Amino acid sequence: QSVLTQPPSASGTPGQRVTISCSGSSSNIGSNNVNWYQQLPGTAPKLLIYSNNQRPSGVPDRFSGSKSGTSASLAISGLQSEDEADYYCAAWDDSLNGYVFGTGTKVTVL
Amino acid sequence: QVQLQESGPGLVKPSETLSLTCTVSGNSISSIYYWGWIRQPPGKGLEWIGSIYHSGSTYYNPSLKSRVTISVDTSKNQFSLKLSSVTAADTAVYYCARFADSPNWGQGTLVTVSS
């Protein structure tokens, strides 16, 4: 059972901007940093954004993250076909002393 | 650069105990981080199983708490997962992780529960 809520799907044409939301609570997003993971078909999740808006080395600057209150967002600008994947948000939860995940969003490039 | 590698049986019989080990390199397991396990059943989302703090304190997903044990072996720089009384629903890719500002995961290992 996922604690963070994401839309099940999002789509766009090549070059468009797509935004994915992630809604949580005061015990997770409201008090901790948010991470985003990209999971290409058949592969392990890859860290895409950490600490709300930081990109690991090698992640294109087309990907950006933000956080406000108990919600966070991932934006993909200049959408490309290789961005078709599942995207998950995640954050530490102080009530659980554990890591909670979003429900996942499947991004389709039309 | 910290690296994590899962190891253990890829096939476990129903009602038996699933046991996995995570070997950590590039960082001491005694460092001030949470270490833990995550799983992903085929075609489904990600689920946190549990975590252990450098102090040895453990925290488990309430839905699995009665069946999970996470422990650390500092001499080998490893931590382990035991999940008892497994069923087909426990079939998943299991990942070990270091929970930090920039989290690190292992590559994952598929565990199938089947007779």
Smallest CA-to-CA distance from B20 within B38, B7, B31 is with B7
Q: Around Cβ B21, how many Cβ atoms within 10 Å?
A: 16
For residue A90, the one-letter residue type is A
- Give the pLDDT band of residue A3 (cuts 50, 70, 90): confident
Distance CA B84, CA B72 (A): 18
Query: In the prediction, which pLDDT does A1 show?
Result: 60
* Chain-chain contact of B46 with A88 (C-beta, under 8 angstroms): yes
B60: left (phi over 0), alpha (psi -120 to 50) or beta: beta
**Nearest chain B Cα to A57, which residue?**
B102
**Nearest chain B Cα to A90, which residue?**
B46
- Note the pLDDT tens digit of each residue in B76-87: 999 999 999 999
Rg (C-alpha) for chain B, rounded Å, is 13
Smallest CA-to-CA distance from B45 within A65, A91, A106 is with A106
Task: Return the residue in A89, A94, A99 with the most chain B beta carbons within 10 A, the one to mutate for interface testing.
Answer: A99
- Note the pLDDT tens digit of each residue in A19-67: 999 999 999 999 999 999 999 988 999 999 999 999 999 999 999 999 9
* Chain-chain contact of A101 with B48 (C-beta, under 8 angstroms): yes
* Chain-chain contact of B45 with A51 (C-beta, under 8 angstroms): no
CB-nearest to A100 from B48, B57, B60 is B48
Pairing of strands A34-39, A46-49: antiparallel
pLDDT surpasses 80 at A106: yes
Contacting residues for B8 by C-beta, under 8 A, at least 6 apart: B18, B19, B20, B21, B109, B111
Q: Which of residues 33-72 of B touch A (CB under 8 A)?
A: 34, 36, 38, 40, 45-48, 50-51, 57, 59-63
pLDDT surpasses 80 at A2: no
Length of chain B: 115
Please give, rounded to a whole number of angstroms, the shortest distance from the CA of B25 to a CA of chain A: 19
Distance CA A76, CA A59 (A): 12
Burial class (CB in 10 A: 0-12, 13-18, 19+), A26: exposed
CB pairs under 8 A between A and B: 61
Distance CA B101, CA B33 (A): 10
Pairing of strands A9-12, A105-109: parallel
State whether residue A27 sits within 8 Å of chain B by CB: no
- Note the pLDDT tens digit of each residue in A71-95: 999 999 999 999 999 999 999 999 9
* Chain-chain contact of B93 with A104 (C-beta, under 8 angstroms): no
Q: Which residues of A touch B97 (CB under 8 A)?
A: 99
Smallest CA-to-CA distance from A72 within A2, A6, A18 is with A6
Query: In the prediction, which pLDDT does B97 show?
Result: 94
Q: Which residues of B touch A45 (CB under 8 A)?
A: 40, 46, 95, 105
Query: In the prediction, which pLDDT does A39 show?
Result: 95
pLDDT surpasses 90 at A11: yes
Query: In the prediction, which pLDDT does B56 show?
Result: 86
- Note the pLDDT tens digit of each residue in B50-98: 999 888 899 999 999 999 999 999 999 999 999 999 999 999 999 999 9
Distance CA B45, CA B98 (A): 19
Distance CA B30, CA A52 (A): 26
